[in-house]
């Protein structure tokens, strides 16, 4: 069996939905198929805006009207036959009504994140209902599945953790029969539910991860993420127009690149695939002739450098004011509390040190006092750009230092981290 994943851009309007149908017909008949689909276009952002208005008890009619109109416009364009348009409209209206009853029941003293998970996933529910109906009208044998009944998570609202054993059981109960009888399963990315059936979400852009979860638990032969780009590029073409496409990439490299900011796949996607050695294809839904990028276990491929970018990084610098040399032991002892999983690198020299992190540190008054007492000047910098190079070649460092003013870095033969002021392109 195989898994397809279509993101928001691939279902953003009626033509795109038709294109998804064509891809499923052309490439999906090789064994059984499960299709994971995201919310249409930028609908998740639209739902977030709606929720913010609702939460402030402001009039939400304009946001809500925009969401409704967006979906309704798509069905009026998609279905020429009046009867089909009416049926599709009924499907949407039922979901709109369900949502409205959630709006009515909002309790402002409750947890915002919990409410977020109740509402935001409707982007996916609407989109998959609509695509499933379209595919059925095109003659495909599809079944729509509510992912909240399959993906079991804990209650960490907005970034829920999957309960793999419970989900495996549900996959057996809810999906296997359909796949065995040759039906194409259409389901949502990004959403699940806790053991009490309260909806949860896996984190923004989490649909890739959902597809990988299904692929893992169904022992898929392969998974394809259909995107509006050709595949995985070695860097951001907006910054380096000479970016190259990877024909092949190892799991390890793909995981590192996505973790360090390459936005082409969600960072959590790789692990469940690597575990079962399932190849991941990243391909263009616009140019289906091209084979895109294949990510798998093979490592001995032509290695080209990759450069990823991530914003919002933090740098803490300590410099000796007293011309004394760094007392490494002492300073490490007092900084013990700030080290966490978010730290990217620590850079020491005899006059001081810098620590780069994904998150800002919260420094207690006591710690500040000790830093001062040991004769250090503290500097904190926020919102920095991280430039991450994997497999550097001999001139990359020079190219980067020419372009950005680097505040701190750590480099070795295999990886280089640079922190720079984002706007400061020299
Ligand atoms: N629709 C969700 C989002 O935009 C999940 C996804 O697209 O992967 O974050
Ligand atoms: Mg999306």
Query: Where residue 403 falls among pLDDT bands split at 50, 70, 90?
Result: very high
The number of CA neighbours under 13 Å toward the Cβ of 267 is: 11
| 37 alpha carbon – ligand 1 mean position (Å) | 9
Sign of torsion over alpha carbons 296, 301, 302, 306: positive
**Are 199 and 150 in contact, with CB atoms under 8 Å apart?**
no
Note the pLDDT of residue 301: 67
Residues 2-227, CATH architecture: 3-Layer(aba) Sandwich (3.40)
Dist CA 30 CA 178 (whole Å):
16
Query: Where residue 83 falls among pLDDT bands split at 50, 70, 90?
Result: very high
Q: Please list the alpha-helical segments (H only) found in 138-278.
A: 164-174, 176-180, 207-217, 251-259, 270-275
Please work out whether the CB of residue 7 comes within 6 Å of at least one atom of ligand 1: yes
Non-local (6+) Cβ contacts of 201 within 8 A are: 116, 117, 120, 121, 157, 158, 159, 160, 190, 191, 192
| 228 alpha carbon – ligand 2 mean position (Å) | 13
pLDDT digits (tens, 9 = 90+) for 311-330: 999 999 998 887 666 677 78
| 207 alpha carbon – ligand 2 mean position (Å) | 8
| 411 alpha carbon – ligand 1 mean position (Å) | 34
pLDDT digits (tens, 9 = 90+) for 200-230: 999 999 999 999 999 999 999 999 999 999 9
Q: Which CATH superfamily is domain 306-424 in?
A: VC0802-like (3.30.2130.10)
Please work out whether the CB of residue 121 comes within 6 Å of at least one atom of ligand 1: no
Note the pLDDT of residue 205: 94
pLDDT of 423 > 90? The answer is no
Query: Where residue 30 falls among pLDDT bands split at 50, 70, 90?
Result: confident
pLDDT of 120 > 70? The answer is yes
Dist CA 188 CA 202 (whole Å):
12
Helix H or strand E encompassing 91: helix 82-104
Task: State the span(s) of the chain assigned CATH 3.40.1160.10.
Answer: 2-227
Task: State the span(s) of the chain assigned CATH 3.30.2130.10.
Answer: 306-424
pLDDT of 343 > 80? The answer is yes
pTM tops 0.85: yes
Query: Where residue 194 falls among pLDDT bands split at 50, 70, 90?
Result: very high
pLDDT digits (tens, 9 = 90+) for 257-274: 988 888 789 989 999 999
Please work out whether the CB of residue 190 comes within 6 Å of at least one atom of ligand 1: yes
Residues forming beta bridges with residue 263, ordered by sequence position:
none
| 404 alpha carbon – ligand 1 mean position (Å) | 32
90-102 mean pLDDT: 96
Nearest ligand to the C-alpha atom of residue 188? 1
- Work out the end-to-end distance of the chain between its first and last CA atoms, rounded to an integer number of angstroms: 50
From the CA of 124, give the closest atom in ligand 1: 1
Residue whose CB lies within 8 A of the most ligand 1 atoms, among 7, 49, 121, for a mutation test: 7
| 246 alpha carbon – ligand 1 mean position (Å) | 24
Residue whose CB lies within 8 A of the most ligand 1 atoms, among 8, 41, 45, for a mutation test: 8
Query: How far, in whole angstroms, is CA 235 from its chain's centroid?
Result: 17
Residue whose CB lies within 8 A of the most ligand 1 atoms, among 12, 38, 158, 227, for a mutation test: 38
Helix H or strand E encompassing 298: none
Dist CA 287 CA 256 (whole Å):
27
Query: Where residue 334 falls among pLDDT bands split at 50, 70, 90?
Result: confident
From the CA of 204, give the closest atom in ligand 1: 9
Non-local (6+) Cβ contacts of 67 within 8 A are: 43, 46, 47, 50
Residues forming beta bridges with residue 153, ordered by sequence position:
162, 194
Helix (H, G, I), strand (E, B) or coil at 403: helix
Percent of the chain whose pLDDT exceeds 70: 98
């Amino acid at each position: 069996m195989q898994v397809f994943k279509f993101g928001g851009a691939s279902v953003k309007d009626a033509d795109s939905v038709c294109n998804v149908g064509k891809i499923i017909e052309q490439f999906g008949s090789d064994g059984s198929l499960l299709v994971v689909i995201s919310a249409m276009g930028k609908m998740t952002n639209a739902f977030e805006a709606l929720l913010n208005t609702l939460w402030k008890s402001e009039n939400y009619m304009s946001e809500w009207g925009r969401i409704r109109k967006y979906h309704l416009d798509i069905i009026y364009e998609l279905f020429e036959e009046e009867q089909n348009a009416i049926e599709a409209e009924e499907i949407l209206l039922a979901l709109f009504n369900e949502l409205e009853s959630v709006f009515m029941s909002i309790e402002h003293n409750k947890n915002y994140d919990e409410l977020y998970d109740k509402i935001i996933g409707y982007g996916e529910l609407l989109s998959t209902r609509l695509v499933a109906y379209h595919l059925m009208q095109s003659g495909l044998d599809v079944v729509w599945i509510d992912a909240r009944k399959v993906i079991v998570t804990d209650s960490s609202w907005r970034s829920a953790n999957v309960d793999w054993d419970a989900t495996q059981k549900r996959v057996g109960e809810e999906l296997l029969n359909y796949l065995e009888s040759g039906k194409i399963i259409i389901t949502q990315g990004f959403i699940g539910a806790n053991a009490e059936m309260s909806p949860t979400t896996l984190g923004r852009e989490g649909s890739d991860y959902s597809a990988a979860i299904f692929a893992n638990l169904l022992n898929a032969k392969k998974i394809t993420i259909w995107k509006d780009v050709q595949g995985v590029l070695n860097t951001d073409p907006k910054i380096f127009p000479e970016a190259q496409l990877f024909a092949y990439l190892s799991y390890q490299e793909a995981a590192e690149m996505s973790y360090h900011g390459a936005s082409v796949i969600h960072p959590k996607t790789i692990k469940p695939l690597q575990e079962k050695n399932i190849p991941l294809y990243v391909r263009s839904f616009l140019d289906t002739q091209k084979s895109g990028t294949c990510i798998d276990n093979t490592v001995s491929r032509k290695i080209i450098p990759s450069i990823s970018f991530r914003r919002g990084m933090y740098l803490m610098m300590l410099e000796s004011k007293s011309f004394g040399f760094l007392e490494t032991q002492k300073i490490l002892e007092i900084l013990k509390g700030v080290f966490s999983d978010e730290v990217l690198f620590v850079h020491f020299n005899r006059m001081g040190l810098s620590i780069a992190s994904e998150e800002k540190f919260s420094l207690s008054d006591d710690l500040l006092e000790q830093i001062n007492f040991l004769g250090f000047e503290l500097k904190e910098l926020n919102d920095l750009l991280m430039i991450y190079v994997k497999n550097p070649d001999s001139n990359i460092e020079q190219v980067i230092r020419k372009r950005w003013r680097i505040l701190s870095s750590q480099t070795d033969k295999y990886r280089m981290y640079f922190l720079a002021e984002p706007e400061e392109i020299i």
